[in-house]
Structure 1
Amino acid sequence: MNTTLFADIFEIYTGLFDKLVVDLTLFFSWFPYWAPVLLGYLFWHQWMHYVQARYMSNIKWVMLEIKLPKETNKSPLAMEVALNALYQTSAGTWYDKIWKGKVKDWFSLEMVSIEGQIKFFIRTSWIYKNVIEAQLYAQYPDIEIYEVPDYARYVDYRGKYGDWEIIGAEYGLSKPDPYPIKTYVDYGLDKDPKEEFKIDPLTSVIEYLGSIGKGEQIWIQIIAQAASKRYHIKSGKKAGEIGDWKDEAKDIVKELTTKEEIKDGKKVNMSRVLEMTEGDRELVKAIERSTGKLGFDCGARALYLVKKEQFNPSNIKALGGLLRAFTTNNLNGFTLNYQTFGFDYPWQDYNNIRLNKKKIEIFDAYKYRSWFYAPQHKKPFVLTSEELATIYHFPGGVAQTPTFGRIPSRKSEAPVNLPI
C-alpha cells in the first residue's frame, strides 16, 4: 500500500518537474526577444529617475512668509487672481525632459501654526519669487512678504527613536475631478458682504490652528502645479485619446444630459434634459462653471507634531475632519487617502513597525514638498483656481482667533500736500 502511494507521488512530482523544465526551456528560448524590452524599460525608468533627481536637486527654493494687516477686506477672488500666476504649463522640450530631467514647476501653499501662532507661507522656486510677490502686492497692498528659513528644518523627527510624535493625513477628492467642492462663491463671498455677515469656511481651519498650545505644531500644505493630461476620453471624436480634466467633465455632462435608446437596431443618444431633476441641473451648471477656470493638479496633507510627553490624541479626529467645511454631498468633497492614525487590529502591525514607517514617509514627503515626483509620487487631484483660493486665502476680520498674528497698523501713502 505504502509502496504504491510513494510511486504515485513520485510520478506526480516527476511530471511536474518535466513540465517545469519544458516551461523554462521555452521561457529562455525567447530571451533574446523579451530581455531587451525588459532591460530597456528598467534602464529608461532608472535614467528618468536619475536625471529628474539631478534637476530637482539644483532648484533653489525660497520660502515666502506673508504677514497680514489688521484688516483684510478682500474676497477670496483676490487670491484667485493672484494664484493664476502659479499656472505654469511648460516642462520644456523633449530634450529638456529626457536629457536634463526638467519637470513641470510646482508650488506649495502652506498654513502653519507654531504653538498657536498662525503663519501663511508660499514655497516656490526662486525664479517665481518676484512674480508671486508682485501678484500678491497687487491684490493685497497692505501685506508684508519676507523670505524666511524653512520652518520644517527645525523639527528633527526620527520615528520611535526621537523626541517628537507625529500624526499625518493626506487628502483626496471623494468624486471625480470635474465635480467641484463647495467654494467661496457658494458661501456668497464673491459678493463682498460686510464682515459681520461673512461666512468664511476657512475660519474653522484658522480656529483649529490657533487652538494648540506650547510645544505643539500643525502644518498644512497644498501642493499645486498646472493640470496634466491623464484622462482616457470615453466619447466623441477624441474617444480613446488622452485628455485633461475638462474632457472628463464633458463626458460627465454628456452622461447626465443624454440617455441611450435603441432605434432601428442601433444605439442612439437622446437628450434627457426635460427629465433632469433640479439637482441634476445644478450639478451640470456647477461643472460647466468650473471648466471655465484654470485647473491645477494638487495634493494636500496635514501634520500634527508635538513632543511625545505632550501628545494630544484629540488631534486625530481634528485632522480627519479638517477640510469638511469645503465638502458638499451633491458635488464633491475631501476624503482621507492616507493617514498615520494607526491600524484597526494589533495583528495588522506588529510592534508598530508599519506605523512608524508611514510616519517617517509622510514627514519626509512634507519636508521635501513631494507629491508629483520622487521621493513620493502620488496621484494628484484637480482643483480649479476658484477652489484653490477657497482653501488658501487671507481671511478678513471674520477670523478673530487671538493668536492670528497680524501687522498692527495699516500702511498708506503720505499726503501729497506735505511741505518739502
Structure 2
Amino acid sequence: MANQSSWVQSLDKIFLSMMWWLIPMTIIIWLPFTRPFWWVFLAIFLSIELKKLYLWWIAWDFAYAETEWDFIEIVPPKEILTPLKAMEDVFTSMWSPLFDGANWREEWCEGELTEVPYWMSLEIVSTEGEIHFYARVMRAHRPFLESILYSHYPELEIFDTQDYTRSVPNNLPNKEWDTYGEDFVLKRPDPYPIKTYENFFEPQGERIVGEEKRIDPINSLLESMAKLGKGEHYWVQFTLMGTADNFEPKFKKDAEEIIAKLAKRPAPKKPRTFAGELGFMLNDIVFGPKKEGEGEYATYKWERPDEKEEKPGKEASLTPGERDVLTAVENKIKKPLYRTSIRGVYVAKRENFNKSNRVIFRPYVTHFLTRNLNFIGFHLGTRPKVHYWFRKMRVRFRARRMLRNYILRFPPFFPNRREGCSIFNPEEIATMYHFPLKISSTFLPSMTRVESKKGGAPSNLPIGE
C-alpha cells in the first residue's frame, strides 16, 4: 500500500472498504432466482456497515472524546549515572497499564477498542534551538509513569505544561509557514532487532563500569536540534501502544519462520484451507495413490504434499553470524512488545526554512543499523515528497496529514492503527529514547535541566519546639 499512488489508496478506501456491498448486490439483482430476495441481502450488507459505524461512534466520538490526557515536561538532571537498563525498565513497567483487550461489553457498551486501546507519546522537541523532553499520557496512567521515573531518576523534575504544537498554526503549510515530516519504520521484518544500547560499549566485549565510557548516540541528535535558529522547530515523537503476539499475527508468524530457518528446522505448517483440500482431492482423483514397492510387496499410500517429513538440519552447522542473529531474534520476542509510531517533523517560517534541517532524524537512526539484523528508514508513502502526478496538491495533502496525525498523536495511516507502525521491545525503545547520560557543552546552554541534586534534610538537624 505504501508504494501505491495516493489516489489509488483513496479509491481503495472508498470503493473496496466502504462500498464493497454494491458488487454482490449487483450480482444478486442480476440473477433471476435471487432477485425476489434482494431486500434480505441488502439488510444483511447494511447491518455489517452499521456495525462498523456504531463501533466507530462509540469508540472515537464517545469514549475517546471523554478521555483525559496530561501533557507533561520531563526535566533531566545535568548528569545521569543510572545505567540505560533503568530506562528499559521504565518501558517494561509501562507495558502493563498500556496493554489491554476489550471484551464484548467493553467494546459495545463502553467504546473500548478491541486491541491496543491505550497509548502514550514520548517526545523530544527543539524550539528555536531550545531542547525539551515531553510526554503525553492518559491521566489514569500518569501516576505509574511518574513513580517508575522517580524510582530510577530521583533528581529529575516533572511538571504540567502546555502542548507546544499550539505555538504554530494548525493549517500548515500556508503562506507564512512550511513543514516537512517523515515517519520511520523497520525496513526488515519486525522480529529482527535493531542495534541496542548493549552494543554501544567501547571497546566491545569489555565490561565497563563507568557510564561515561559508553557511547551515547542521542547526543548527536540533541546537538543537531540545538543548532536550529530563529523561527525553526523540530519535533521527534515516539507513540507507544502496548501489544502482544495475539494482536500481531504477522509478527508471530514471521518470528517462527525466521527462527525455524536459522535453526535449520522445518518452517511451521500453514493451516489447511478449503481451496487446498479441494486441490488435494482433485490430485487424488487424477493421479491416484502413490505406489511403493513392486509385485506382491507393493503398497499404496495416499500422500499429502504438506505432510512430507522434513529432516531438520544440524544446529552445529550454524555459523557464528547465524547464531548471533538467532539469539538476537529470540531475545527480542521474549520481551514485552510495543506497536510504535516514530516520526520527525520540521516546522519553520518560510524565510527561515532550511532544507538540511528537515532531515535531522535520519542520521540519528543510522546509529542502530546492523546489516545482518535490522535498520530504520523513512516511510515512502507518508513523507510530503512525490515525483509524479499532481505533485503540488499531493505534497500539501501529505504535509497536512502528517501534521494532523502528529498533533493528535495518531499513527500514520489512521484510522488504520497498524500500517506504518513497527514492533519494538523496551530495550530497543530505551536505546532510541532516553535522557542524555551527560549533557554535552555543545547543547548545554539550550537544554532545560536540573542544576542541583535533591536530598533530604540531615537527620541531626535541630528542630525548634
TM-score, with structure 2 as normaliser: 0.76
**Does the 8 A contact of 1:86 with 1:107 survive in 2?**
no
Shift of 1:373: 8.9
2:461 — aligned with what?
418
Q: Deviations over 1:263-301 (max 9, x none)?
A: x99332312322222111100011112223211111111
**After the TM superposition, which residues 214-233 of structure 1 pair with which residues of structure 2 at under 5 Å, given as runs?**
214-229=230-245
Shift of 1:163: 2.1
**After the TM superposition, which residues 198-209 of structure 1 pair with which residues of structure 2 at under 5 Å, given as runs?**
198-209=214-225
- Letter in structure 2 aligned against 1:100: E
**Does the 8 A contact of 2:29 with 2:38 survive in 1?**
no
Distance 1:230 1:131, change over 3 A: closer
**Does the 8 A contact of 1:221 with 1:300 survive in 2?**
yes
Name which of 64, 71, 79 aligns with 1:56. 64
1:150 — aligned with what?
163
**Does the 8 A contact of 1:195 with 1:398 survive in 2?**
no
**Does the 8 A contact of 1:115 with 1:217 survive in 2?**
yes
- Letter in structure 2 aligned against 1:134: S
Between 102-111 and 264-273, the greater mean CA deviation after superposition = 264-273
**Does the 8 A contact of 1:69 with 1:408 survive in 2?**
yes
**After the TM superposition, which residues 374-413 of structure 1 pair with which residues of structure 2 at under 5 Å, given as runs?**
374=414, 377-379=417-419, 380-397=421-438, 399-400=440-441, 401-402=443-444, 403-413=446-456
Distance 1:272 1:71, change over 3 A: same
In 2: Cα distance, 1:148 partner to 1:23 partner? 59
Distance 1:140 1:260, change over 3 A: closer
2:328 — aligned with what?
286
TM-score, with structure 1 as normaliser: 0.84
Shift of 1:333: 1.2
Shift of 1:74: 1.6
In 2: Cα distance, 1:368 partner to 1:276 partner? 47
- Letter in structure 1 aligned against 2:42: A
- Letter in structure 2 aligned against 1:36: A
Between 66-75 and 309-318, the greater mean CA deviation after superposition = 309-318
Q: Helix, strand or coil: the match of 1:213? A: coil
Matched, 1:46 2:53: yes
**After the TM superposition, which residues 275-354 of structure 1 pair with which residues of structure 2 at under 5 Å, given as runs?**
275-337=317-379, 338-345=381-388, 348-350=389-391, 352-354=392-394
Shift of 1:195: 4.7
Distance 1:173 1:34, change over 3 A: farther
Name which of 250, 257, 260 aligns with 2:263. 257
**Does the 8 A contact of 2:128 with 2:229 survive in 1?**
yes
Task: Point out the structure with the larger strand share.
Answer: 1
Name which of 177, 185, 207 aligns with 2:190. 177
**Does the 8 A contact of 1:91 with 1:97 survive in 2?**
no
In 1: Cα distance, 2:243 partner to 2:412 partner? 11
Distance 1:314 1:145, change over 3 A: same
In 1: Cα distance, 2:352 partner to 2:71 partner? 29
Distance 1:23 1:81, change over 3 A: closer
1:268 — aligned with what?
310
Q: Helix, strand or coil: the match of 1:324? A: helix
Alpha-carbon RMSD across the aligned residues, in angstroms, is: 2.7
In 1: Cα distance, 2:154 partner to 2:266 partner? 55
**Does the 8 A contact of 2:79 with 2:437 survive in 1?**
yes
Q: Helix, strand or coil: the match of 1:330? A: coil
- Letter in structure 1 aligned against 2:226: G
- Letter in structure 1 aligned against 2:48: Y
Shift of 1:341: 4.4
2:104 — aligned with what?
94
In 2: Cα distance, 1:45 partner to 1:191 partner? 55
**Does the 8 A contact of 1:157 with 1:164 survive in 2?**
no
Distance 1:411 1:41, change over 3 A: same
Distance 1:414 1:377, change over 3 A: same
Gaps of 5+ in 2: 1-25, 268-291, 293-302
Q: Deviations over 1:19-70 (max 9, x none)?
A: xx99962287263464334212211221111111121111111011111111
**Does the 8 A contact of 1:65 with 1:148 survive in 2?**
yes
